[in-house]
Structure 1
């Protein structure tokens, strides 16, 4: 495989917000993509602390109903219309992947390797982010659109209650996915010279 294949797929991965429920692949294919990323994404000390929940169909719709009600309780009524419209856009998609980190694993590593204790939560988030990227990019390679959201911790308790999530799983992100109803807009880039230094 040419390195340009990976680079081309990386360029396909965009935040796509105009999504629908017409997936170009099966839900089993989505599940396989998620499982593969979970198994093959690296983690510090091989901690494997990332935990995933995939919500399809009615379960996905329920998540965004939960999120809507949670935000309705904290957003002033006169300002809620734009928030409601945004959340309806997420519900219009086909599914959501919930990303968690197992805090028992993180705490266990902190106790076992006390010298690095402060770093283990950071490294756990690194592994989680790599898993998010692996799933998001692989979905893009199959013409599935996605966008990443962070409604945690506002929805944490309701999500845990609805899907019987263990107390030691900490919600980190929500990847909304679906058929692409409209492509992402043009992407702009900050100057590489301000962001990259090369020596030697």
Structure 2
């Protein structure tokens, strides 16, 4: 039995200590991200996933937006200091991918396939999971760490204005990535008997 994919899956962890000691160029990383998203499956091949790839000042600008937005939500200075430290760890990474869903496409498929209309929102989320997992695992294959954040919808309006994002794109997650400066901790797993049913 081949286990190359499983070996790669084990490399894909939530890495929070990220840096900028990255050997791949921004063009190579952009191509890697694009290719993974193109190859990730979507229902009816409707290709609802979108991405905004941020490097350099644009990457830092995103996390400044997050910090400034959270400042409005965390009025306690001590609590905000902890929050800002966390966000600055993300800012220290090499880049960020903003994962979006094109809501116009979801609506078109709801209208064109009424029998399945109630499913296309759920399926678009499944497509997001496919795209995010594919990109994340491919980054891990290339020795890069990443983690996935969800500051949407708090930051949606500011991010849309800052990067001229189409109004029909709905932000689903933010993935910062970079060199691995410290490994992830041990991962715990629930008992197989609580998770799987197998019938032979």
TM-score for the superposition, normalised by structure 1: 0.97
Deviations, residues 142-179 of structure 1 (Å, cap 9, x unaligned): 00000000000000001100111000000000111001
2-structure distance, mates of 1:175, 1:3? 29
In structure 2, runs of 5+ residues without a counterpart are none
Specify every segment of 5 or more residues in structure 1 that has no aligned partner in the other structure, as ranges.
none
After superposing the two structures, state which structure 1 stretch, 146-155 or 17-26, moved more: 17-26
Report the alpha carbon displacement of residue 3 of structure 1 after superposing the two structures with TM.
2.7
The equivalent residue for 1:26 is 25
Q: Give the count of matched residue pairs.
A: 199
What is the distance in 2 between the residues matched to 1:117 and 1:108? 10
How far did 1:33 drift?
A: 1.2
**Cα distance in 2 for residues equivalent to 1:70 and 1:63:** 11
Once the two structures are TM-superposed, the CA of residue 26 in structure 1 deviates from its matched residue by 1.8
**What is the CA–CA distance in structure 2 between the aligned matches of 1:144 and 1:45, rounded to whole Å?**
32
Aligned-partner SS, 2:3: helix
1:155-174 pair list within 5 angstroms:
155-174=155-174
Following the alignment from structure 2 to structure 1, what is the Cα–Cα distance between the partners of residues 39 and 185?
31
CA deviation profile, 1:51-110 (whole Å, cap 9, x unmatched) = 011001111000000000000011123321111110010001010000000000000001
- Name the structure 2 match of 1:124: 124
1:1-200 counterparts in 2 under 5 A? 3-78=2-77, 79-200=79-200
For the 8 Å contact 1:150–1:172, the answer to whether it is kept is: yes
Equivalents in 1 of 2:71, 2:20: separation in Å? Answer: 25
With 31-40 and 10-19 compared, the bigger mean Cα shift is at 31-40
Could you tell me how far apart the structure 1 residues matched to 2:153 and 2:88 are?
20
Deviating runs (4+, > 6 A) in structure 1?
Answer: none
SS at match of 1:172: strand
